[in-house]
C-alpha cells in the first residue's frame, strides 16, 4: 500500500510539472514584466551587437558583470546556435521549474519519501518574482535548493560534500547573488537538524552549523574578493549604491507574493485555502516540520517585513524573501501520523487541481497580453531600421476594467519594456535596456549614454514637454526631440488618450500601440 501511495504521488507531481510547461510553450512571448528587456539583451549577446547599426550603440563587455548573468551565459554559449528566442524561452522554463524541482528534491531528502504536501511546490510556481521576470533570481533559488538537497543526500561524505558545496556556491553566485546567500542559509538550517538542539548540545550544534556553512560562505568570500566589478560599484545606477527604501505598501503585500501573479483576489483565495488545509493537516498530526528549515522559513519571512524594500538598484526585496520562505517551508514538511487513504487521495487531487486551475488562468492572461504584444509588433513595422525610438505611455488609464489587459498584482503594467522589442525587430536604439555595470555584460557607447535606464516606469506623453522632464528618475531627457526620431505610445487602446505633444506625425495606430515620427523643428 505504501508503494502504491508513493507511485500515485510521484505521478501527480510529474503531471503537475508538465502542466506548468503549457503557458511558456504556447505563448510566443511570455508577458513577464522584465522579459522583453532580458530578451533584447540576450539577442544582442547572441551576436547581433556585432553588426551595424547596433555595433555603434552597444558593446558586449564581460568584464562588467560577474553575477546576475545566468541567462546571459546561456545566450553566450547557445545563442548563435539555437537563437536568442529559444534561449529566452529556456530561461523562462528554468525560472519556473527549477524552484519547484529544487523544493521537491530537498523535501524528498528531508522526508525520505514522497508525500502529498509536496504538491504545494508546483501549485505555487506562479508567483510575483516569476511574473515580474526575475529570471536569474528564480534560477538561482532553484539551484540553491538543489545544491542543499545534494548536501543532505551526502551525510557520510563530508569532504566530497564540502567540495561540491563550494563549487555549487560559486556557480550559483554567478547566476544571482541571492541564490548564493540562500544556499549558505539552507545548509546551516539543515545542520540544525530535525529538532531544535537541547540546551546542553547547542555549542556542538553551533560548531556543526559553522562547518556545514563554511564551503558556500567561502565561495561567497572568494567571489567578493576576486570579482572585478560588483553591482553598483561603477556608479552607473540611477540611485547610489547604498541607497535603500522601506515601503509599507510593499511590506503589506509581501505575505501574498507567493500566491499572486495578476489577480490579487484569486491569490488571496488560494492563500486562505492552503492555510486552511495546512492547519487541518498539522492539527491531525499528518505533517511535521524539519526544525532547521522551518526556522529558516520564519526568518526569511520576518526578513521580508523588516529589511529594506530596495537596496541600491535591487528592488522588491520583500517579494524575493517571502517567496523563498514559502519554498523552504514546503521543503521542511515531513509525514507525521499515517494519513487515511481517502484523505491522501483528496489532498493529492485537490493540490493537483489547484495547479491546473492556476496554470490555465495564467495561460488565459498571457493570451490576453499577447494581443498587446502583437499590436506593438505591428506598429513597429512602420519604424525605419536603425532609428532611435522613445517609448512612452498614454498616461492615466481611463479604460473600463473589462477592457484592460492583466496587470501584475492587479496594478503594475506589463508593458513597461515592450518598447525594447524594437531592438530586435528594427535594429532600433531604445532607452532603458538593462546595462548596468556589475549586473549585465552590455555597455552603451558614450554617444548613447542617454539610453541608460533612468527608472522603472515609462514617461507619460503629457509630461514629455513638461518643465520637469529629465528631473525625475522616470522622466525623458529634456532634449528628447533631438535624441529620438520616433515616439512609441503604449497602453493607448480605448482610452481618451492625452493629446501628444505638438510636432508629431502619426505613422501607425494599432490600438494599444501608436507610432509617431518626431517632426524636426
pLDDT at site 495: 55
Dist CA 139 CA 335 (whole Å):
28
pLDDT confidence of residue 229:
76
For residue 513, CA distances in Å to 293, 375, 418, 472, 498 come to 48, 6, 10, 25, 14
CA atoms within 13 A on the CB side of 223: 27
pLDDT number for residue 396? 58
Overall residue count recorded for the chain in this entry: 521
Q: What is the pLDDT of residue 240?
A: 55
Buried b (16+ CB within 10 A) or exposed e, 217-231: bbbbeebeeebebbb
**How much is the pLDDT for 398?**
47
**Chain centroid, CA 302 distance in Å:** 21
Give, for 483, the enclosing helix (H) or strand (E): helix 480-483
Strand partners, 392: 489
Of residues 126, 118, 121, the one with CA closest to residue 92: 126
- Map grid coordinates 538561482 to a residue: 140
Q: CA-based angle 82:85:87, to the nearest 5?
A: 60
Predicted local confidence at residue 321, as pLDDT: 97
For β-strands 504-509 and 514-518, DSSP reports them as antiparallel
Facing residues of 287 across strands? 335
State the Cα–Cα distance between residues 428 and 387, nearest whole angstrom: 5
Look at residue 2 in the predicted model and tell me its pLDDT: 43
pLDDT attached to residue 93: 98
What burial class does residue 39 get, using C-beta atoms within 10 Å of its C-beta: 0-12 exposed, 13-18 middle, 19+ buried? buried
Element holding 506 (H helix, E strand):
strand 504-509
Give the end-to-end CA distance of the chain in Å, rounded to a whole number: 81
Q: At what angle do helices 202-226 and 177-192 cross, to 10 degrees?
A: 160
Contact 487, 389 (CB under 8 A): yes
Residue 353, C-beta contacts closer than 8 angstroms, at least 6 positions apart: none
Rounded CA separation 261/268 (Å): 11
Q: DSSP alpha helices (H): ranges in 284-403?
A: 291-306, 317-331, 341-380
510 neighbors 490 (Cβ within 8 angstroms): no
Sign of CA dihedral 143, 304, 127, 123: positive
Q: Output phi, psi for 109, to 5 deg.
A: -65, -35
Answer whether 491's CB lies under 8 Å from 393's CB: yes
**Distance of alpha carbon 463 from alpha carbon 397, whole angstroms:** 15
Q: Which of 218, 158, 216, 223 is nearest to 188 (CA)?
A: 216
How high is the pLDDT of residue 1?
A: 35
Q: CA–CA separation, 506 vs 509, rounded Å?
A: 7
3-state helix, strand, coil in the chain (%, to 5): 60, 10, 35
What is the structure's pLDDT at 371? 95
Distance in angstroms (rounded) separating the CA atoms of residues 44 and 432: 14
pLDDT at 401 (0 to 100): 39
Q: Running along the chain, 521 residues long, what does each successive block of 10 average in pLDDT?
A: 70 97 96 97 97 94 92 97 97 98 97 95 97 98 98 90 97 97 98 84 86 96 87 59 76 92 95 93 94 97 92 85 98 92 92 97 97 97 96 67 74 94 97 89 88 74 70 60 93 70 93 94 75
**Which residues have CB under 8 Å from 411's CB, separation 6+?**
none
Amino acid at each position: 500500500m505504501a508503494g502504491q501511495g508513493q507511485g500515485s504521488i510521484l505521478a501527480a507531481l510529474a503531471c503537475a510539472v508538465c502542466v506548468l510547461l503549457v503557458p511558456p510553450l504556447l505563448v510566443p512571448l511570455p508577458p513577464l514584466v522584465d522579459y522583453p528587456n532580458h530578451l533584447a539583451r540576450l539577442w544582442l549577446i547572441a551576436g547581433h551587437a556585432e553588426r551595424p547599426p547596433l555595433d555603434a550603440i552597444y558593446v558586449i563587455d564581460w568584464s562588467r558583470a560577474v553575477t546576475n548573468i545566468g541567462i546571459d551565459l546561456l545566450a553566450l554559449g547557445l545563442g548563435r546556435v539555437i537563437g536568442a528566442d529559444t534561449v529566452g524561452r529556456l530561461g523562462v522554463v528554468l525560472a519556473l521549474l527549477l524552484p519547484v524541482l529544487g523544493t521537491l528534491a530537498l523535501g524528498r531528502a528531508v522526508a525520505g519519501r514522497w508525500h502529498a504536501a509536496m504538491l504545494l511546490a508546483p501549485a505555487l510556481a506562479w508567483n510575483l518574482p516569476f511574473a515580474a521576470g526575475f529570471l536569474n533570481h528564480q534560477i538561482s533559488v532553484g539551484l540553491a535548493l538543489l545544491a542543499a538537497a545534494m548536501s543532505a543526500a551526502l551525510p557520510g561524505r563530508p569532504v566530497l560534500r564540502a567540495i561540491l558545496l563550494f563549487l555549487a556556491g560559486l556557480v550559483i553566485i554567478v547566476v544571482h547573488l541571492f541564490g548564493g546567500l540562500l544556499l549558505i542559509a539552507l545548509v546551516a538550517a539543515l545542520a540544525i537538524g530535525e529538532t531544535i538542539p537541547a540546551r546542553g548540545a547547542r555549542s556542538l550544534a553551533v560548531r556543526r552549523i559553522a562547518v556545514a556553512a563554511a564551503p558556500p560562505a567561502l565561495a561567497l568570500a572568494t567571489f567578493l574578493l576576486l570579482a572585478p566589478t560588483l553591482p553598483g560599484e561603477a556608479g552607473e545606477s540611477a540611485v547610489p549604491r547604498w541607497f535603500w527604501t522601506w515601503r509599507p505598501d510593499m511590506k503589506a503585500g509581501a505575505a501574498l507574493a507567493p500566491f499572486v501573479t495578476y489577480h490579487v483576489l484569486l491569490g488571496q483565495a488560494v492563500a486562505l485555502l492552503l492555510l486552511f488545509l495546512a492547519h487541518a493537516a498539522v492539527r491531525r498530526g499528518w505533517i511535521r516540520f524539519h526544525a532547521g528549515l522551518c526556522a529558516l522559513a520564519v526568518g526569511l519571512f520576518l526578513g521580508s517585513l523588516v529589511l529594506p524594500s530596495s537596496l541600491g538598484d535591487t528592488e522588491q526585496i520583500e517579494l524575493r524573501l517571502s517567496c523563498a520562505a514559502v519554498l523552504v517551508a514546503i521543503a521542511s514538511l515531513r509525514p507525521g501520523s499515517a494519513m487515511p487513504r481517502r484523505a491522501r487521495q483528496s489532498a493529492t487531487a485537490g493540490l493537483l487541481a489547484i495547479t491546473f486551475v492556476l496554470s490555465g488562468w495564467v495561460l488565459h492572461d498571457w493570451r490576453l497580453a499577447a494581443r498587446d504584444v502583437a499590436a506593438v509588433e505591428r506598429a513597429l513595422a512602420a519604424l525605419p531600421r536603425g532609428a532611435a525610438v522613445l517609448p512612452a505611455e498614454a498616461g492615466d488609464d481611463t479604460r473600463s476594467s473589462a477592457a484592460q489587459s492583466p496587470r501584475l498584482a492587479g496594478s503594475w503594467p506589463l508593458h513597461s519594456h515592450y518598447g525594447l522589442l524594437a531592438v530586435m525587430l528594427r535594429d532600433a536604439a531604445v532607452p532603458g535596456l538593462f546595462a548596468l555595470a556589475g549586473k549585465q555584460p552590455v555597455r552603451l557607447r558614450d554617444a548613447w549614454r542617454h539610453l541608460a535606464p533612468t527608472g522603472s516606469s515609462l514617461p507619460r506623453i503629457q509630461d514629455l514637454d513638461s518643465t520637469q522632464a529629465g528631473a525625475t528618475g522616470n522622466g525623458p531627457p529634456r532634449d528628447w526631440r533631438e535624441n529620438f526620431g520616433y515616439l512609441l505610445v503604449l497602453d493607448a487602446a480605448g482610452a481618451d488618450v492625452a493629446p501628444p505633444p505638438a510636432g508629431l506625425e502619426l505613422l501607425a495606430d494599432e490600438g494599444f500601440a501608436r507610432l509617431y515620427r518626431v517632426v524636426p523643428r
